[in-house]
Amino acid sequence: MLLRKYVTVFLITFSFLIVLPTVAQENNQDVVQQFNKTEFENSLHKLAPKEFSLLFAQKYKRDSLRESICLIHIENVMLKSEDLLAQFWGNYSLSYWNHDQKNFKKTIFHVDKLYEIAVKLKNDDLILSSLINKGDFYYDYGDYNQSMESYLKAIKIAKKIKSTVKKLIISKNIALLKIEVDDNQGAVELLEGTLEILKKEQSKKLNRLEVSIYIALTKSYLRLENYAKAEYYGNKGIALSDEYGDEDAKTYFYNFLGETNLLKKKYDESILYIDKAFEYANKIETSKSQLPFINLNIGKIHYYKGEYEKAIDVLEKIEFNQQQKNTNFFSLEDMYKFLGKSYKAIGDTEKSLFYFEKTNEVYTKNDKQQNAIGIEIIKKYDLQSLKEELSEAEKKTKKTQTILYVSIFLALFTVGGLVYFYKKREKKNQQKFAKILKTLEEEKELLTESVPLLKGETLEEKQVKESTLQEKNIETLQQKEVEIIDETKAKLLKKLQNFEVKELYLSKNSSLNEVAKKLKTNTSYLSKLVNAHKGKSFTAYITDLRVNYAIRRLKEDKKFRSYTIDSIAREIGFNRSESFSRAFKNKTGLYPSYYIKNLDNQNVE
């Protein structure tokens, strides 16, 4: 009996082990079948080059299957296209993709192509962007001279096209170079001047730049051993990150604050900050590059707490990972130094000497690199000239004061003009709004007669009678036109009338081809009929019907007015809120948001 039980259990287990892989395989096949490769490939051809590039960066390259299809599309379609913009955005995507793969040569190859194409296009904005990208990539790969050369070219273009935003970005990037060559005081002066000008711009587009400047300032003051300032900018940076929703930046701030407390020998506080940095780095993909720096601080904490074996374990893992990835790690000097000190503390003289020698090698290499770029920065880039340019508005010379007074006068004059323009525009908008409401009332009077509620009749029955009467009135309005055309046209116009009355145009499937199918005619005939009898193209006809519907329903339906513009657009058949807003503005002279706001202000029911 017992043997039989064991046999039964064995057979059940064996069957389960056989069936499980089959079920898993079937599930995997279902997932694969859900992804239509051909359909995805075709969708890529429909995207504008810039739109494709953004989707590839933000979405497609996160999925290995879509990523591989996109890379083939870039190589075979975009780079071989005669359209220079397609080539530009193809190279743009590949430069960032190769950068992510740590492929330095291919990254620079594609970013050089970006610059060449931008020059051919004679597009200063694209030239400027390609130069900034080139400077950023060289910086990431530790080639500071080439990075500086790119930024110097970029600043000339930024001045030429008077792009304050790009000048601020380049200024911040040059400050980062100064940090790397240990010119932290110069970096601080440049960053604080840049921050002062940036705050005057008061643009939400500059939020991320502002946070990145706080990161750089925290790092600079930490290197200057001004821990009070480092903590001030670090904590301020975290508050700004919360305000702007920039979670990625918190990894940097928490790690720097952890390092600050480490240097102040507040190890428990340091651990709290570094643990938070570690949490964010593992949670956010773009923050993973900070893990070696975070782990370096963890290793230092172990050393200072006398936990030498733990320090060695953490630090050697950093070394191993960096060798495996074949990437630069600019704090190698510190890593080797603390490995040497840790091995010395546990009495391993051989390994201690080995790592101290490695420390000296890296120190010599870093020193040469810093000296080389330091000379280049001093020779080719005058910090004072940039500071003067950034703070020009605050100079106290007579010439600047005169310009300032003139500027104030012009500003006041401009503000007065803007107020006058705004009031005038608001008056016109109110007139347009009133005209819309008047038109709606006239249509209601024309199309709907007053139907009394009879005794014993429900409200729903009354509404059905009103709807039927409205359809008859519409038919009467179009009767004269129908009488003077042939029978085929008359039938099609009747179908078109029913199409309007039943509000079928609200469906997203209201293309010429789809509507022709519904009305049982061909696209050419339907298009000509709409052109002849509606006086507009088929697309304009559908758009007008949708906008007119929106105008009416927004006035009558308070709940509908509470929807977002995007939801309203999709509800009435538009794919994008921008298309709806543009169509509404073209039709009424007002944006839908303005129309809704005024309906709510007047409490229109």
Q: How confident is the model at residue 492 (pLDDT cuts 50, 70, 90)?
A: confident
Please state the rounded mean pLDDT for residues 268-283. Answer: 91
198-253: per-residue pLDDT in tens? 887 777 778 888 899 999 999 999 989 999 999 999 999 999 999 888 888 999 99
CB-CB contact of 256 with 219 (8 Å)? yes
Write the DSSP assignment of 353-392 as a string of letters.
HHHHHHHHHHHHHHHHHHHHHHHHHHHH--HHHHHHHHTG
Using DSSP's 3-state secondary structure scheme, residue 471 falls into helix
Give pLDDT tens digits for 368-412: 666 666 655 655 554 444 455 545 534 444 454 565 566 566 656
Give dist(CA 55, CA 538) in Å, integer: 31
Q: DSSP 3-state assignment of 287?
A: helix
- Return d(Cα 491, Cα 493) in angstroms, integer: 5
192 three-class SS: helix
Q: Could you say which DSSP state residue 455 is in? A: T
Contact in structure between 233 and 221 (CB atoms under 8 Å): yes
CA distances from 549 to 135, 554, 555, 557, 569 (A): 52, 8, 10, 11, 11
Residue 94's SS3 state is helix
Q: Which amino acid, residue 22?
A: T
Percent of the chain exceeding pLDDT 90 equals 27
Average pLDDT over residues 142-151: 85
- Residue 336 vs residues 135, 295, 323, 339, 394: alpha-carbon distances, Å: 29, 13, 13, 5, 47
Surface-to-core class of residue 321, CB atoms within 10 Å of its CB (0-12 exposed, 13-18 middle, 19+ buried): middle
Two tokens at 547?
């906008």
Report residue 567 CA to chain centroid gap. 21
Amino acid residing at 354: F
Q: What is the pTM of this model?
A: 0.55
CA dihedral of 478, 484, 487, 493, whole degrees rounded to 10: -30
Which residue type, as a one-letter code, is found at position 131? L
Taking CB atoms within 8 Å and a gap of at least 24, the contacts of 204-210 are 205/165, 206/165, 206/168, 207/240, 207/244, 207/246, 208/244, 208/246, 209/165, 209/168, 209/169, 209/172, 210/240, 210/244
